[in-house]
Structure 1
Amino acid sequence: MTTSEIYAEFAAREAAGVSPAYERLAAAVSRDRELLGLLGSLPEAKPQPNLLFGSVRLLGGPVEDPAAFHEYTVANWPLVEAEIRARVTQTNEAGRCAVLLPVLAALPQPLALLEVGASAGLCLYPDRYTYRYGDHVVGSGGPVLDCAAAGLTPPAGLPRVVWRAGLDLNPLDVTDSGDLGWLDALIWPEHEHRRTRLRAAAAIAAADPPLLVRGDLVDDLPALAAKAPPGATLVVFHSSVLYLLSPRRRAAFAETVTGLPGHWVANEALGVLPYRVLPAPPEETRHNVLALDGTPLAWTRAHGQGIVWFS
């Protein structure tokens, strides 16, 4: 897929109906020869919309108007390029716990959670949030995570977590203003509810920090998994992470994680992991596939705002 096609698809399938600003911006970039030329000088996997838009937002540039965005980005390309090259998309959306919860709550308790691509580890606290699936509410503390659920009986209660750890090439610290600023810059412009949620989730993590380890999700996973306490069910999970890897490394990760005790929960975009049979997605917008131990269970929305369980 060309860079132009990546931005056109992002506009049509990810930002449409979710972020008017990013829908306009991505569509404009897909037709902008000058910006596409600059993006073409970047390493593979770097010219992605969220990374470009987040870097410009972090620098204080405009993202509401495509013409202003073009002018700013071209004029400040050395600064923008430096941010893109130095960073990766580490969107740490606590809302994704709403689509993970039905699986986590159904596993043998208590749980030892290990997230790969953990960013700042905000998804390691599924037991600290409150969930609202339509009229059904689960939990009573922390930020409220709303999720439209179809074909699913919401869990009766929260999981019991006795150990939480994260593995990331560049773990972020929510007590560091620069790291928190990058997490904020990755939130889409109109999503003030997600900014409020980020601050609330960051406060939870700051009060009870998880074990965050700098390392590779293939090479360093077994050693970290071995630290999980005995008597707890180990759950290795990830959400919107493996698309950053080459197909070869994805296969190596799958082989590694399936060789560990416990369970593997994946929440990745369609095509990132090989599933033989999937039902048709519910609509044209992009969905992730939620899977347990290699078996697909549901379609999910990128920020945890919806889940459609397979019948």
Structure 2
Amino acid sequence: MSDWAHSSADRATREGVAAEIRGWIPAAADSPIYSRLAAEVCEDPVLLDVVARIDNVPPMNLLFGAVQFLRGGALPSVPYGEFRAFVLAHEEEIVRIGCTRRTQTNEARRCAVILPFVANAVAGFGDGARAHAIDIGTSAGLNLCLDRFAYDYGAGVVGDSALVLGCENRGGFALPSGVPQFASRTGLDLSPIDVEDADAVAWLEALVWPEHADRLKRLRAAIAIRRQTPVTMIAGDALETLAGVVEALPAGEPALIFHTIALYQLPAEAQATLDDIVASLAETRPLARVSFEPRHGSLFPLIHVGARPYDSPAVAQGHHHGAWLDIPPTPAPLAV
């Protein structure tokens, strides 16, 4: 996991909480409002104590998300004192929200980051293959509409949809000529988002950073498409549900498993167990896995492929919100 996604800092001390926030701030560079307020929280013992009570990751995303959720809209560029007063006036509710809700996927543009690798995986199943798509940490199932979006990498549009997702292809990756089609779509999540539930959708909107009006518009367009797309949503721990989902698919038909900035919330032992499960399932049918996750040593999430994706080097890195796709960073040399 990358440092911004999870910190090993001592959360029991104010110094540890401040260190965790400082590690998060570079990943919030796209939000001047959040970056400024977070920097001031680092110097505020009272608000550091509030953040320490949010026993969840990443705590600052949850703190700011809770503030926007309770305000009912984007947080403007208010003075720190006004922000501080709001947090303290709603402290108990903010802590409750932060401890019980999750930073669930609300950015459909991540589909643009994984599309080249998903398309390549599906092509590997054979001409005309239609894979059964399974999204781990699916949230509202937006990524399972990957085959119902269109994509603009700057050299023509791939696919045909009311929602065109723009992504800068900085790495010069080979792009598919079309969007692969899915035979079925299944989303796994501890707390799946019902796109017909206004409160649940409001939480997804609250997780959009305040300056990102384009992201909010894109989220609403993606939700409209999701409401017209058949998806099987399964609540529960993927370690307990994934095998049953794959085993229930028609014998011999290919399965495509993917996840985007979701598994960082699992401890290392659980991630290793998931790798074991996927590797075992890969022995029973054609199967591919695409991972877009934070990793230690990289500011931006990395894309890996394979049943045990992290046994091999990353194939790409991408912007957290799908703005660009690039070659992976060069690994640091081993210490001697």
Normalised by the length of structure 1, the TM-score is 0.90
Q: Using a 3 Å threshold, how does the CA distance of structure 1 residues 269 and 90 change in structure 2: closer, same or farther?
A: same
Give 5+ residue unaligned stretches, structure 2.
1-8, 10-15, 331-336
CA shift for structure 1 position 153: 2.0
Matching of residue 94 in structure 1 with residue 108 in structure 2 = yes
CA shift for structure 1 position 259: 1.7
Matching of residue 171 in structure 1 with residue 189 in structure 2 = no
Q: 2: distance between equivalents of 1:177 and 1:87?
A: 15
Matching of residue 265 in structure 1 with residue 277 in structure 2 = no
Q: Given residue 133 of structure 1, which amino acid in structure 2 is its aligned partner? A: Y
Listed one character per residue, the Cα deviations across residues 269-289 of structure 1 (whole Å, up to 9, x for unaligned) are 122xxxxxxxx96xxxx2111
Q: Mean Cα displacement is larger for which, 121-130 or 31-40?
A: 31-40
1:110 aligned residue: 130
Matching of residue 15 in structure 1 with residue 15 in structure 2 = no
Q: 2: distance between equivalents of 1:288 and 1:309?
A: 12
1:245 aligned residue: 266
Listed one character per residue, the Cα deviations across residues 221-267 of structure 1 (whole Å, up to 9, x for unaligned) are 10112233445420111111111111111111122122222011111
Q: Using a 3 Å threshold, how does the CA distance of structure 1 residues 7 and 206 change in structure 2: closer, same or farther?
A: same
Q: Does the 8 Å contact 2:145/2:229 carry over to 1?
A: no
Aligned ranges for residues 1-311 of structure 1 at < 5 Å? 1=9, 2-11=16-25, 13-16=26-29, 18-43=30-55, 45-46=56-57, 48-60=59-71, 62=75, 64-65=77-78, 66-107=80-121, 108=125, 109-149=129-169, 150-230=171-251, 232-261=253-282, 262-271=287-296, 286-293=299-306, 294=309, 295=312, 296-310=314-328
**Deviation >4 Å, runs of 4+:** none
Q: Given residue 50 of structure 2, which amino acid in structure 1 is its aligned partner? A: L
More strand by share: 1
Q: 2: distance between equivalents of 1:256 and 1:124?
A: 21
- The count of corresponding residues between Structure 1 and Structure 2 is 296
Secondary structure of 1:112's aligned partner: strand
Q: Does the 8 Å contact 1:99/1:307 carry over to 2?
A: yes
Q: Does the 8 Å contact 1:110/1:159 carry over to 2?
A: yes
Normalised by the length of structure 2, the TM-score is 0.83
Listed one character per residue, the Cα deviations across residues 156-184 of structure 1 (whole Å, up to 9, x for unaligned) are 11011111001101000111111110110
1:276 aligned residue: none
Secondary structure of 1:78's aligned partner: helix
CA shift for structure 1 position 8: 1.5
Q: Does the 8 Å contact 1:8/1:30 carry over to 2?
A: yes
CA shift for structure 1 position 47: 5.9
Q: Given residue 292 of structure 1, which amino acid in structure 2 is its aligned partner? A: V
CA shift for structure 1 position 191: 0.9
Secondary structure of 1:236's aligned partner: strand
Q: Does the 8 Å contact 1:299/1:307 carry over to 2?
A: yes
Q: Using a 3 Å threshold, how does the CA distance of structure 1 residues 19 and 269 change in structure 2: closer, same or farther?
A: same
Q: Does the 8 Å contact 1:6/1:48 carry over to 2?
A: no
Q: Does the 8 Å contact 1:94/1:201 carry over to 2?
A: yes
Q: 2: distance between equivalents of 1:209 and 1:25?
A: 40
Q: 1: distance between equivalents of 2:250 and 2:226?
A: 20
CA shift for structure 1 position 142: 2.8
Q: Using a 3 Å threshold, how does the CA distance of structure 1 residues 192 and 47 change in structure 2: closer, same or farther?
A: closer
Listed one character per residue, the Cα deviations across residues 133-152 of structure 1 (whole Å, up to 9, x for unaligned) are 12232112131111111231
Quote the RMSD (CA, aligned, Å).
1.8
Q: 2: distance between equivalents of 1:229 and 1:103?
A: 24
